[in-house]
Amino acid sequence: MSSNNLKILTFTTLFPNHRFPLHGLFVKARMKEVAKLCELEVVAPVPWFPPFYLLKRYYPYSQIQREEWMENLHVSHPRFFLFPEVGKILDGLWLFLGAYGTVKKLQRRFPFDLIDAHYAYPDGYAGYLLARAFDKPYTITIRGSDINLLPRYPLRRRLIRKTLFKAGRVIAVCQALKEASIQLGIPKEKITVIPNGVDLFRFFPIDKQEARKVANLPLDRRIILSVGHLCERKGFHLLIDAMKELIKRGEKDLLLVIVGGNTHEGDFRKYLEERIIRQGLENHVLLAGPKPPDELRIWYSAANLFCLASSREGWPNVCFESLACGVPVIATRVWGTPEVICSPDYGLLVEERSVEALAAKIEQGLKTEWDSKKMIAYARQNTWQGVAGKVLEVFESVSKSRLG
């Protein structure tokens, strides 16, 4: 499938750059494949900060290039004002104003047909304003907390609802987000569910013992792996407590390995380190730090179980990555997770996000005989190439309806 004449402008702050290479990889993965089917440019605004090194937390933003190539994608990085923790109702307007000049200049050499925005607010609302300014149709992809968290704030809820209602089509990464959007008053026929995919060239099984040698992990212990940005909603603190409980039950050989780094939300790693020391789990929990995407299959393949203890998720890519490596998943039953772990052949769902419930499911998972071939075959049905084809169909439909 291809539509070589269709020109798409992808607009999102959820996109990697040379200073933050792990940010928004799931958006890049989708658009890399879509760009093989049509013409595509990416506008990925970044917050403006002065180049003062004393502001170590924000200094890297000042060093991001204005333009760069990421594989087959040309990416522009206009600046916008962002005030941390205050004035969030204005974020969409600031984002629009910061990007307008770049989009206007881009349109001269790339007369785009459609704006493809990701995340309902502020990105989607700014995409709506850009679509009005340039008289173009637009689509919105909703991904998680933009629908399952932000509508709790009344003013942002109004802007999100307006953004979704005015869009040519809404793409939801899971059915649960579609249902939540319908509750916001968005017509169900406007919403298409297209889950995320998995990169089979990056995620595939390797020999467990060899993986452990490469990762410098013990060969004779049962390993529980969890991967994600270090923040409260991912539930790493609950997994640490669950390890304490399992060790009390006699599971002395367990090792919990957490792969991931801090986010802009603060130094959660320090909090986890203190929790590990306080409970005397230094020999049972390893904070391995962030790892490049090309290395993650080593860590997945080294594990006996993968565990995700999130309080909310859209479509958790880490679950499919683990399954593609032949490793079963233990995950909390939140939002799109049950749609990924849709069979007991692929893992176990935790009904209650508590230490006791997590410990019980991990214990059950360790005793279960898993068929890794079934997991791998299931993951291989959900590729980014397949996702790209479905996304292109949505773009073509919106573009044709506008022309009609």
**Per-residue pLDDT reduced to its tens digit, 385-404:** 999 999 999 999 999 887 65
Tokens 């089917």 locate to 37
Based on the fold, state whether residues 331 and 395 are members of the same structural domain.
no
Q: What's the N-to-C CA distance of the chain in angstroms?
A: 22
Based on the fold, state whether residues 293 and 172 are members of the same structural domain.
no
For 256, the domain range is: 208-379
Alpha-carbon span 2 to 193, nearest angstrom: 21
Would you say residue 52 lies in a domain? yes
Query: pTM of the entire structure?
Result: 0.92
Would you say residue 361 lies in a domain? yes
Would you say residue 2 lies in a domain? no
Sign of the alpha-carbon torsion through 362, 227, 316, 305: negative
Would you say residue 344 lies in a domain? yes
Would you say residue 72 lies in a domain? yes
Would you say residue 151 lies in a domain? yes
Based on the fold, state whether residues 362 and 391 are members of the same structural domain.
no
Based on the fold, state whether residues 354 and 394 are members of the same structural domain.
no
Instruction: Write out the two tokens for 19.
Output: 């200073």
Those residues of the chain that have pLDDT short of 70 are 1-4, 52-57, 265, 403-404
Tokens 């890399």 locate to 32
Based on the fold, state whether residues 177 and 58 are members of the same structural domain.
yes
Residue 267's pLDDT is 85
Residue 62's pLDDT is 85
Phi, psi of 11 (to 5 degrees): -125, 120
Residue 401's pLDDT is 81
Based on the fold, state whether residues 63 and 108 are members of the same structural domain.
yes
Based on the fold, state whether residues 182 and 60 are members of the same structural domain.
yes
H-type helices in 289-383, by residue range? 296-302, 317-324, 337-340, 355-367, 372-379
Based on the fold, state whether residues 101 and 167 are members of the same structural domain.
yes
Could you tell me the CATH number of the domain that includes residue 97? 3.40.50.2000
Based on the fold, state whether residues 232 and 152 are members of the same structural domain.
no
DSSP per residue, 168-225: SEEEESSHHHHHHHHHTT--GGGEEE----B-TTT-----HHHHHHHHT--SSSEEEE
Residue 86's pLDDT is 73
Based on the fold, state whether residues 150 and 247 are members of the same structural domain.
no
Residue 4's pLDDT is 62
Based on the fold, state whether residues 388 and 354 are members of the same structural domain.
no
The domain tally of the chain equals 2
Would you say residue 203 lies in a domain? no
Would you say residue 202 lies in a domain? no
With contact defined as beta carbons under 8 Å apart, do 7 and 110 qualify?
yes
Based on the fold, state whether residues 170 and 263 are members of the same structural domain.
no
**Per-residue pLDDT reduced to its tens digit, 242-300:** 999 999 999 999 999 999 998 876 789 999 999 999 999 999 999 999 999 999 999 99
